[in-house]
A = this chain, B = another copy of it.
Amino acid sequence: MIAPFSGRLIVQEVAPRDGLQIEPTWVETLDKIALIDQLSGFGFSRIEAGSFVSPRAVPALRDGEAVFTGIQRVPGTIYVALVPNLKGAQRALESGADELNLVMSASQTHNRANMRMSCEASLAAFGDVVELAQGTSLSLNGTVATAFGCPFEGRIDEERVLGFVDTYLEMGMQGITLADTTGMANPRQVARLVGRVLERLPATDLTLHFHNTRGLGLANVLAAYEVGARRFDAALGGLGGCPFAPGASGNICTEDLVNLCDEVGIETGIDLARLIDLSRTLPRLLGHEVPGQVAKAGRNCDLHLSPDYAKL
């Protein structure tokens, strides 16, 4: 049974970071800034606007400084930067990021593949960032990636995930993200794990990051929402993805999520029509179709003209 749909759902738009980072086509800094500025105008309270990682590791986002200093800051919107270590955190701080997102995989193998270090080394690096953030206005969010499964190791022990959540909180991070990095989560698992995490921190501090790799992204959102989660990452057009699942979908799609919320009566504060218009500009910007479906199908209320022979 679907629980009552009450309580605003916060969408954190991540296309400028998690979406663009794997794009093979270079997106000009001014185009990135224009994209973020338009998103800022649509009512998002949080935008992950870029990352400060090695330009060799993620060349697509090597212009983090120019992006963060070039965008129009909308008061009330939190601009987040992904950083892997102290050096990245310093760059993000100097560029005016409001919040740093620190990502480590629960899977040891995935963390080595993705971050090229052990989980222990990642946590040590995060300790330096926590120290840097003290005395600044920066808030910190810790992401547990592969929290619902790892493409190398398979199932991840829930206790291990909860252990990292506890570690992040003990280190002094304000926010926690559980990320289904390669789209392996299912609604039953989501309800159980999210329920346990919400015993540890308030819903206002927890973000769920789902990928739609196996078509379950929005079902997982509903399962998490029904047990109390209220903040979700999503990417315009459903951009993003994982190099380990070629051809599969990326992040859950922002406009598909907002359409779901509009249809079931969950408030997001985001204007779906403008979101769709912007999403429809992505294929030209990126040179390929994008996975989002509502931008192709239109909203339910965008009625079609009936053929003449069917007129009443």
Chain A contacts to B: CB under 8 angstroms: 1-3, 5, 108-110, 112-113, 116, 149, 151-154, 182-184, 186-189, 191, 212-219, 222-223, 226-227, 244-249, 253, 256, 259-260, 263-265, 292-294, 296-298, 300-301, 303-307, 309-312
Chain B CB within 10 Å — which of A153, A186, A312 has the most? A186
A184 to chain B, nearest CB (A): 5
B216 touches A312 (CB 8 A): no
| A113-B307, A188-B264 known; A215 vs B256 contact (CB < 8 Å) | yes
Q: What would 13 more interface pairs be, CB under 8 Å, given A1-B191, A216-B218? A: A1-B1, A1-B227, A2-B191, A2-B223, A112-B311, A113-B310, A187-B222, A189-B263, A212-B215, A214-B300, A215-B260, A244-B304, A248-B296
The count of identical subunits is 2
A183 touches B153 (CB 8 A): no
A312 touches B108 (CB 8 A): yes
Q: Which residues of the other chain, B, contact A305 by a CB distance below 8 angstroms? A: 152
Closest 6 CB pairs of A and B: A112-B310, A186-B263, A248-B297, A113-B310, A247-B296, A219-B219
Can you give 8 A-B contacts (C-beta < 8 A)? A1-B191, A2-B188, A109-B311, A112-B306, A184-B300, A189-B263, A189-B264, A215-B293
The 8 Å CB contact of A1, one of B108, B219, B226, B264, is B226
Give the distance in Å from the alpha carbon of A154 to the alpha carbon of B116 in the complex. Answer: 52
Chain B CB within 10 Å — which of A116, A153, A154, A216 has the most? A216
The 8 Å CB contact of A303, one of B113, B154, B188, is B154
B108 touches A304 (CB 8 A): no
The 8 Å CB contact of A298, one of B108, B154, B245, B304, is B245
| A226-B1, A303-B154 known; A296 vs B245 contact (CB < 8 Å) | yes
Q: Which residues of the other chain, B, contact A116 by a CB distance below 8 angstroms? A: 309-310
Q: Which residues of the other chain, B, contact A310 by a CB distance below 8 angstroms? A: 109-110, 112-113, 116, 152
Q: Which residues of the other chain, B, contact A151 by a CB distance below 8 angstroms? A: 303-304
Q: Which residue of chain B has the shortest Cβ distance to A299 in the bound complex? A: B214
B246 touches A296 (CB 8 A): yes
Chain B CB within 10 Å — which of A216, A219, A307 has the most? A219
Give the distance in Å from the alpha carbon of A183 to the alpha carbon of B245 in the complex. Answer: 26
A233 to chain B, nearest CB (A): 16
Q: Which residues of the other chain, B, contact A191 by a CB distance below 8 angstroms? A: 1-2
Q: Which residues of the other chain, B, contact A110 by a CB distance below 8 angstroms? A: 306, 310
A215 touches B253 (CB 8 A): yes
Give the distance in Å from the alpha carbon of A159 to the alpha carbon of B246 in the complex. Answer: 45
B297 touches A214 (CB 8 A): yes
Q: Which residue of chain B has the shortest Cβ distance to A294 in the bound complex? A: B214
Q: Which residues of the other chain, B, contact A189 by a CB distance below 8 angstroms? A: 263-264
The 8 Å CB contact of A186, one of B213, B249, B264, is B264
Q: Which residue of chain B has the shortest Cβ distance to A228 in the bound complex? A: B1
Q: Which residues of the other chain, B, contact A113 by a CB distance below 8 angstroms? A: 306-307, 309-310
